[in-house]
Structure 1
Amino acid sequence: MAEIRVLVVDDHPVVRQGLRTFLDLQDDITVVGEAHDSVSCLAEVAATDPDVVLLDLRMPGGDGVEALRGLSGERPRVLVITSFTDPSAVLPAVRAGAAGYVYKDVDPPALAAAIRAVHAGHVLLHPDVARLLSEGGPPPEATHLTAREREVLAEVARGRSNREIARALGLAEKTVKTHVSAILTKLGVQDRTQAALYAVRSGLD
C-alpha cells in the first residue's frame, strides 16, 4: 500500500497534535509536517512535498483560502477540515481548488477515508455545496469538448479516479488520462478539482 504523505495545517497546537497522533496510527498515512497559518503552510509544502494537505480555514496571519490560492497543480491535494457547518462558508475554499472538506467533528476513521479518497483523485463535494455552485450559472466555455470528453468530465465530477472512469466507460486508463489532460487544457483549468467545479456549474454532473 502506497504511503500518503500528509501536512497538517491548523493554528491550534492541540488540534495539530491530535490529528498527528491519530493519523500516524494509520499504516498508509504519514504526517510529514505541520503549519499554523497560510505562510508557514506554503513553506512546509515546499519543504516536505506532501500528497495531501489537511487545511483549516480560519487561521490568523492568512486564512486557508489564501493558502489554497498559493497552491496549484495536481499535487498536493487539499482537504479542508473546518468547524463551519454552513455550506456557503466553504464555497471560497472549493472555488480556490480544495478537493473536498470535512467537519472537525468527523469520526477519525471517516477522516482517514476522506484523505485516502482525495489522494486517489476523488472530489468530495457535499450536494448542498454543489447546488450553491450551480446557482452561479455555467461559466463561459473557451472550446467545445468532444462527446467523449464530456463523458469523462462528468465522471471526474462524480469524484471517480482515472481507473474507475476507465472501467465505467470501457476505456484504457491511459486513454482516460489523455482525455483528462485535454479537458484541462480546453477549459483552461489547472487540475481535476477545478474541472469538476466546471462540470457542476455547467450541469454536466
Structure 2
Amino acid sequence: MTAVRLLIADDHPIVVQGITRFAELEPTLEVIGAAASADALLALLETTTPDVISLDVQMPGMEGPRTVEAVAAAGAPVLLFTLHPIDLAIASLIHAGAAGYLPKSSSLERYVEAIHALHGGGRVLPPELEALLDAPAAKAPSELLTPREMQVFERLVMGETIKEAAFSLGLSVSTVYTYSDRIRTKLGVRTQPELVRYAASWDLDQR
C-alpha cells in the first residue's frame, strides 16, 4: 500500500513530533510537512501536494470557515484534529469544506484510521456532529438566503440601520423590514448582536 502523504497544521510541537515519530513506524503514513499557523499552512500548500491535511482549528491565524475554505481549495481532504468540542462552530467548518473531525483525545491508531478514511474519499463525522449539520447557524448564509436577502444581510451586519440599508439598496423601509425578518428567521437569530456574531463566524462583517 502506498503511504498517505500527510500535512500537519498544528502549533503544538508535541503533537507534530508525536505524529511524525508514529508515522516513521507506520508504513502507510508519511508526514511531508508541518505548519504552526494558518498563514504558514497556506504558504506550504503552494509548494506541496498532500493527500490529507490534519488541521488544528485553534492555531494562530485561523479565521474559521474562511480559512477552512482556503485550505480545502488545495484539493486534499481536511481532518479537523482538535481539542475544540463538537459544536456549531465545528459544524460550520464541515460546511466550509472539512471532511472529518477527530478529538485529540483519540488514539494514534484511530487517527491513522481517520486519515485513511479521508484519503479513500470518506468522511469522519461523529453522530452528534452529523446532528448539528442541519442547524441554520452551522450553514453559510449563501446556502440559506436569496441574493436580495444577502444584500440586506450584508448592509445590516456592516452596522446600517433599516432605513440606511433601504436607502443604500434603493428599497422601501417596509421592504427591508420584511427582508430583515426573513433573514433572522432563516438564520435562526433574533437580535442584531446575534446577527453580527453569525456574520463574524463566516468572516462576513468586514465586506
TM-score bin (small chain): 0.5 to 0.7
Corresponding residue for residue 15 of structure 1 = 15
Take 1:124 and 1:25, find their aligned partners in 2: how far apart are those partners?
A: 24
| Aligned-residue offset at 1:28 | 1.2
- Deviation sequence 1:118-139 (CA, Å, 0-9, x none): 0000011222122112233995
Q: Which residue of 2 aligns with 1:47?
A: 47
Which letter does structure 1 place at the counterpart of 2:45?
A: V
Distance of 2:65 and 2:16 partners within structure 1:
18
Q: What SS is found at the alignment partner of 1:134?
A: coil
Give the Å deviation of 1:63: 4.6
Shift of 1:111: 0.4
**Alignment partners' CA distance in 2, 1:53 and 1:118:** 10
Aligned-pair distance for 1:94? Answer: 0.6
Q: CA RMSD in A?
A: 2.2
Correspondence for 2:90: 90
Unaligned runs of 5+ in 2: 145-207
Distance in 2, matches of 1:109 and 1:4, equals 14
- For residue 143 of structure 1, what is the aligned residue in structure 2? none
Check the 8 A contact 1:81/1:104 in 2, yes or no: yes
Q: Deviation string for 1:4-34 (max 9, x for gaps)? A: 1000110112221112111232111100000
Gaps of 5+ in 1: 141-205
When residues 135 and 83 of structure 1 are mapped into structure 2, their CA distance, relative to the original with a 3 A threshold, is same
Tell me if the contact between 1:38 and 1:66 (Cα under 8 Å) persists in the aligned partners.
no
Larger Cα-atom Rg: 2
| Structure 1 residues 125 and 74: CA distance shift in structure 2, 3 A | farther
The residue correspondences of 1:64-143 to structure 2 (distance < 5 A) are: 65-73=65-73, 75-136=75-136
Q: Deviations over 1:142-192 (max 9, x none)?
A: xxxxxxxxxxxxxxxxxxxxxxxxxxxxxxxxxxxxxxxxxxxxxxxxxxx
TM-score, normalising length: structure 2: 0.61
SS class of match (2:47) = helix
TM superposition shift of 1:73 = 4.8
